[in-house]
Amino acid sequence: MERRNFLRSAAISGLAITGMAGINSVSAAESVVSNEAKFKLKYGPHLGMFKNSVGDDPIDQIKFMADQGFTAFEDNGMMGRDIALQEKIGKTLSDLNMTMGVFVIEKGGNMANTLAAGKQEYIDIFLDGCRRAVDVAKRVNAKWMTVVPGGFERKLPIGIQDGNVIDALRRGAEILEPHGLVMVLEPLSDSPDLYLRTSEQTYMICKGVNSPSCKILYDIYHMQKNEGNIITNMDLTWSEIGYIQIGDNPGRKEPTTGEINYKNVFKHIYDRGFTGILGMEHGISGERIEGEKRLVQAYREVDSFEL
């Protein structure tokens, strides 16, 4: 039996169309072939989203994502995985014609080594992370890597902090640019102490760095919390957006669970010609296989915008 048919049969209790009682597993699997239809946009799940359907094995999970029509994948913790697994993931994505999304540059900037402080030891940690990220990116055929510059340095004027961040990121871009790699800066809503907070601030930093290897990671969940006005602010910063992430608000679960009209947002992104990845950096509202089934259904709903 082919791998995909096996996976569908194994997970059939969570994927079969309702009301099909009495049908055998093979014909039930065939009844969900429509799940293989590709989405209009490159939504990228992460490991763990479908573990109830196929188990804990990362490769099985990625194959299941492809089986459900997803054409991208992201993994924040990729740099911490064994080299052998990184290589296996890279091959699997290639075989399935899936695009690798972001992973986080380890110690690329955090509350312990904020780039806003301008301290050489913090910059060295960041640059070491950039160098090591190049090798990881090659193994998994990645292009984008997440960077969070860390917290504010409250003792310094904001303009000095801006300059320190820009200088550090320029040096990181010098490492990544020859390899065609892009760090994407993510403004966050997790704490008011975090330096990057809004899209316009991140736009300014990217303009200051002035490199194709430094762009915005526009996380819709965080930006809805920090600034709202999603479509307008995306348009204002569009030239510097390199990557998008998803999560409804409140709750940070899949689209359709909160207040964001994702169907309209996704249509706008599509109409603007975005061909990059929209990372599914959120939780799941439901439980077990039924929750995972509902996750896929939610993306079918919000991806059903008219062309």
The lowest-confidence range among 9-13, 126-130, 159-163, 231-235 is 9-13
Looking at residue 118, what is its pLDDT?
97
Is 1 inside any structural domain? no
User: Which pTM does this prediction carry?
Assistant: 0.88
* Containing structural domain, residue 56: 37-302
Give whole-number Cα distances, 266 to 32, 125, 188, 298, in Å.
24, 37, 21, 13
Is 32 inside any structural domain? no
pLDDT tens-digit profile of 237-259?
A: 999 999 999 999 999 999 999 99
Q: Give me the mean pLDDT over the 143-154 stretch.
A: 97
Distance CA 66, CA 39 (A): 11
Distance CA 144, CA 155 (A): 32
Q: Is the pLDDT of residue 26 over 90?
A: no
**Measured in Å, how far apart are the chain's first and last C-alpha atoms?**
37
CA-wise closest residue to 7 among 75, 71, 46, 57: 57
Looking at residue 8, what is its pLDDT?
43
Instruction: Give residue 261's pLDDT band: very low, low, confident or very high (50, 70, 90).
Output: very high
Looking at residue 108, what is its pLDDT?
77
Is 307 inside any structural domain? no
Is 26 inside any structural domain? no
Distance CA 75, CA 242 (A): 17
Q: Is the pLDDT of residue 42 over 90?
A: yes
| Higher per-residue confidence, 271 vs 2 | 271
- What's the CATH number where 198 sits? 3.20.20.150
Looking at residue 37, what is its pLDDT?
86
Structurally, the chain folds into a number of domains equal to 1
Who contacts 51 (Cβ-Cβ below 8 Å, separation ≥6)?
61
Is 198 inside any structural domain? yes
Instruction: Give residue 21's pLDDT band: very low, low, confident or very high (50, 70, 90).
Output: very low
Mean pLDDT, the chain, integer: 90
Q: Is the pLDDT of residue 11 over 60?
A: no
Distance CA 8, CA 4 (A): 6
Q: Return the SS3 of 188.
A: coil
Who contacts 124 (Cβ-Cβ below 8 Å, separation ≥6)?
none
Is 5 inside any structural domain? no
Instruction: Give residue 112's pLDDT band: very low, low, confident or very high (50, 70, 90).
Output: confident
Q: Is the pLDDT of residue 59 over 90?
A: yes
Q: Are 234 and 267 in contact (CB under 8 A)?
A: no
Is 216 inside any structural domain? yes
DSSP state of 32: T
Q: Is the pLDDT of residue 222 over 80?
A: yes
The lowest-confidence range among 3-12, 165-174, 205-214, 282-291 is 3-12
Q: Give me the mean pLDDT over the 257-274 stretch.
A: 98
Instruction: Give residue 35's pLDDT band: very low, low, confident or very high (50, 70, 90).
Output: low
Percent with pLDDT over 70 in the chain:
88
Is 43 inside any structural domain? yes
